[in-house]
Amino acid sequence: MTLDLKQLIANISNKKYIYILGLVGIFLIFISSFPKENAREAIKETEVDYCTEIEEKLEKILPDIANVGKVSVMVTLKNYGNTVFVRDVVNAEEKTVILNQKGGGEGALISEERNPLIQGVIIVAEGGRSDKVKGELTEAVSALLGVEAHRIKIFERKMK
């Protein structure tokens, strides 16, 4: 009872054939809407780059505070940040505003770009035993990054 492909296609009416093609098209659109691994990796790389940049800057400036000594810093993020686009309402339909750019390209008009939120900071410092040094490091990091004091932890560096 095997039918070859030509007989199968001949047996399907035109209407059914169109429905099948429509379902296949919807399925392909649905599959393409999932985030690609490359997009996830790009987000992760951006997160790592952002953290590394902050850590390096802190490791460069914090040892200049009196009695701090050598430091190591670790920063964790709460989210990846986001971009807010300008929206316009036309005929009760909200749309992103697109601008024509030089060279023939187009781009969305950006209203605001938000940096990732910092979840916590750990600092390991040679002078981390002193309450005064802990207080100064906490104030410095809080002022630079806008992180609440309870999200900043200071520890003494172990002697090698």
Question: Domain segments of the chain: what residues?
Answer: 1-34, 36-81+116-160, 84-112
- Strand pairing report for 87-90 and 93-96: antiparallel
H or E element, residue 155: strand 152-156
pLDDT score of 78: 81
pLDDT score of 94: 65
The answer to whether the CB of 20 falls within 8 A of the CB of 12 is yes
The contacts of residue 98 (CB under 8 Å, 6+ apart) are 106, 107, 108, 109
pLDDT score of 88: 61
SS (H, E, C) 3-23: CCHHHHHHHCCHHHHHHHHHH
Task: Provide DSSP, 34-101.
Answer: SPPHHHHHHHHHHHHHHHHHHHHHHHHHGGGSTT--SEEEEEEES---EEEE-EEEETTEEEE-EEE-
pTM of the model: 0.56
pLDDT score of 1: 46
pLDDT tens-digit readout, 105-133 = 666 666 666 677 889 999 999 999 999 99
CATH number for the domain whose boundaries are 36-81+116-160: 3.30.300.30
pLDDT score of 70: 94
pLDDT < 50 stretches in the chain: 1
pLDDT score of 65: 93
